[in-house]
Structure 1
C-alpha cells in the first residue's frame, strides 16, 4: 500500500512527519525524552520495516521493495555513519545544542541495518566524546531480537524500548501487520534475554480497536510475562496512513496505564 500523498481530512490537526534524509535528525521536542536526537541507519527518505503498522508516522512500508531486499543497498555505509555522527555531534556541541536523549530509530526498524552492532558502538563512542551525560536508547518492534548480535547491541544502550501493541495474535496482526515471521511468544522469550526492557504500546479505536476489555486483558497478561521496567502508552499524535483510526481519550489511556502499573508494580505513563 503506497504512502498517502497528503493527510486525510479526518486527521486534520495531527502532525505530519517527514522521513529523515540523513543519518541524524533533530534535536526535536518529544513527549517522553525532552529534546531527542534521532539516528537513522536506514535508507534516506525511504522506509524499511518488518511491520506495516496502521498508525505509523512514516507511512506504509513499501512491501515489495522490503521483501526484495533492494533497500539494503541504499543504507549508509558504516563509514558514512561514523562521519555523520562525528560531524553532527561536534556541530551540535559547538552550537550549544546538546540533546536530552539520543534515539536509534529512523525510517522503520533500526535493527535491520546490516551492521547494527557496529553502528551502535559508533553512536556510543560519539555520545561518550561529545555528550557524556546524554542517555541513549533504541526503539524497536523486537522482530530481530532472536539474533544474539542484535541483543548485544541493544543491551549496550541505556534503554531498550520494545513495541507491544496487543497481547493476542489476531489484534496484533490487524494493528502491526507483520511482514516477517513473528509470534508474541517469541517476543516474550527474546525480551527475557535483554538486561531490561521498556514496553511502548499504541492504542487506537475506530477501524481497529485494541481498547476492548478482552484486548486489554490479553495485553496485561503479556506484560506480566515480559516484566518490563516501565510501560509507556500513547495514541494518535501524528498522521497515520490508514483510514478510520480514532484517537483514544487521555482519560482512557490513563486508566489503561493505571491497570498496568497496578498489575506489574512498575511505572506506567501516558504520553
Structure 2
C-alpha cells in the first residue's frame, strides 16, 4: 500500500488526532525513512535495504527553519497547540537531539510560550543520558510500548538491533511518571505469523508493564493510514474502548484515537 515521507524539516501545522494543532519537526532525512525500528505498520514505509551515509539536518538549520515558521504563523494569525518531533523515523537518533530540544524550548518560550513541546519516540534511545535528560524537559514525552510480550513487540516493531523488553520497561520507569505511553493495537498477518496484540494474555502483561512504569497518561490507537503490509487490520473502536477501560481501572488516564 502507498506510504509517504515528510519532505521538509518543519511541516504543517496539521490537526493531530491526539495533540491538537501540531507543528511538526522532522529531524530525519527527507528522502528516506531512518529508524531503529522497522514497524510493519509505519506510514513512512520501510527503512532502506542498503546502508548509506546519513546526512542529518544540522542543528543550526533546524533552529533557523523553526524560527522562520513560527514567525510566519504569527503573521498568519495561527497558533500551535504543540510543536511535535516526529517525521521519517526515530527523532532521538539525531546526534544533536538534546541541543535541538534546548533550541526549541528557547524559541517556544520567546514566540509561543503557551505551546507544548512533544516528542514521539519508540523508546530505543532512552538509555543515552543526553536523550533521557532532553525528554524530561518537554511537556509531552510520548514513548512507545506496543505489547505485553517481547516477541509480540519484535514481530510488530521489527527492531533494527536487539530489543530487551525488561530493560526497556525498567528505563521507562526511571522517568518517574514524566511520560505518556503510546501503544498501537493491530491484528493481521505478516510473514506467515499471526499478528495480534489485543488478546487478554497480551493485555494483562502490558498492564503489568504500565504498573511498573506509572505513566501520567496512556494513548491507545490503531492504524488510520496506509501501511507497508497489506494484511494488517484496524482494531475497531469498541475493542479500543474495552482496553481503555482496563487501563483506567489500573489507575491511568487514557486517550483513544480510533
TM range, normalised to the smaller chain?
A: over 0.9
Report the aligned-residue RMSD. Answer: 1.3
Asked whether the equivalents of residues 154 and 163 of structure 2 are also in contact (C-alpha less than 8 Å), the reply is: no
Q: Measure, in 1, the Cα distance between the counterparts of 2:90 and 2:98.
A: 14
Once the two structures are TM-superposed, the CA of residue 193 in structure 1 deviates from its matched residue by 2.3
Aligned to 2:45: 59
Say which of 126, 135, 147 aligns to 2:116: 135
Say which of 140, 144, 169 aligns to 1:163: 144
Q: Measure, in 2, the Cα distance between the counterparts of 1:206 and 1:194.
A: 33
Q: Measure, in 2, the Cα distance between the counterparts of 1:190 and 1:219.
A: 15
Matches within 5 A, 1:14-29: 18-29=4-15
> For structure 1, which runs of at least 5 residues remain unmatched after alignment?
1-5, 8-16
Aligned to 1:202: 184
Asked whether the equivalents of residues 44 and 75 of structure 1 are also in contact (C-alpha less than 8 Å), the reply is: no
TM-score (norm 1): 0.89
TM-score (norm 2): 0.93
Q: Measure, in 1, the Cα distance between the counterparts of 2:154 and 2:211.
A: 21
Aligned to 2:32: 46
Aligned to 2:237: 250
SS in structure 1 at match of 2:203: helix
Correspondence 1:110 to 2:97: no
> For structure 2, which runs of at least 5 residues remain unmatched after alignment?
190-194
Q: Specify which structure has the higher proportion of strand.
A: 2
Paired residue total: 251
Aligned to 2:128: 147
Aligned to 1:124: 105
Once the two structures are TM-superposed, the CA of residue 63 in structure 1 deviates from its matched residue by 4.3
Correspondence 1:216 to 2:198: no
Aligned to 1:3: none
Aligned to 1:14: none
SS in structure 2 at match of 1:162: strand
Aligned to 1:180: 161
